[in-house]
Chains A and B, each alone.
Chain A
Amino acid sequence: QSALTQPASVSGSPGQSITISCTGTSSDVGAYNYVSWYQQHPGKAPKLIIYDVNNRPSGVSNRFSGSKSGNTASLTISGLQAEDEADYYCGSYTSSSSLYVFGTGTEVTVL
């Protein structure tokens, strides 16, 4: 099974909004509303920030939001802050193996 495709890096200035894309296929992102997003700071374990396309776990800032259109899901970070500098990964259920697949990961830099 192939990884979902994300841009290698995205950057923005404090206060701006940025969007990270996650492109899959009709076997994963396009077929199910089971897209999730994870934030990983250097040397730390990943943390769930979005599940089921657009739901935030308790305690996650509402500056993080998710959406999906066709085979592409997106994570938007609004009001960018220095603490948002991290790696971000999408993930989805995939019917090609009936398992789960991650995206390639995106490094977010706050300028």
Chain B
Amino acid sequence: EVQLVQSGAEVKKPGESLKISCKGSGYSFTGYWLAWVRQMPGKGLEWMGIIYPGDSDTRYSPSFQGQVTISADKSISTAYLQWSSLKASDTAMYYCARHRAGHCGGDCYYFYYMDVWGEGTTVTVSS
């Protein structure tokens, strides 16, 4: 069974660092892009960024560039989303999702759709 299993809920204080994880199984982890999606309380989905675990090619939505770091350890089929200094506004549910994509030449990729989703990790930042 193809699945993504995310780490558990986190409660942190402003200014603290955090790294959450997403472990893939049932498919070739290095052969698919993996995206992170934010959902703030009562709000919609926001596409944060994406990584190709095979070579760690990483791309960020302009809204999240410089705010978070996406990484992956292909040896353990796990991707990560991390913050160096959390803010209250980082309080949200974070989902990882396998992202289907197609190559359009050079470093160009078309990002098609997300077909497998993790269950989500709740991050609460409060003093």
Contacts and interface: CB of A to CB of B under 8 A. Distances in A.
B45 A105 contact: yes
Query: DSSP majority for the A interface?
Result: strand
Interface string B18-60: 0000000000000000010100000011110110000000010
Contacts of A104: 44
A31 B45 CA distance: 22
A68 to B, nearest CB: 14
A64 interface: no
Grouping DSSP codes into helix (H, G, I), strand (E, B) and loop, the B interface class, with mixed when no group exceeds half, is: strand
B62 A102 contact: no
A97 B62 contact: yes
State which size class the interface on B falls in.
Answer: 20 to 34
Interface of B: 35, 37, 44-47, 49-50, 59, 61-63, 95, 97, 99-100, 108-115, 117-120
14 contacts: A36-B112, A45-B117, A45-B118, A46-B45, A46-B97, A46-B117, A51-B112, A91-B114, A93-B110, A93-B112, A97-B62, A98-B109, A99-B50, A102-B47
Interface of A: 1, 3, 32, 34, 36, 38, 40, 45-48, 51-52, 57, 87, 89, 91, 93, 97-105
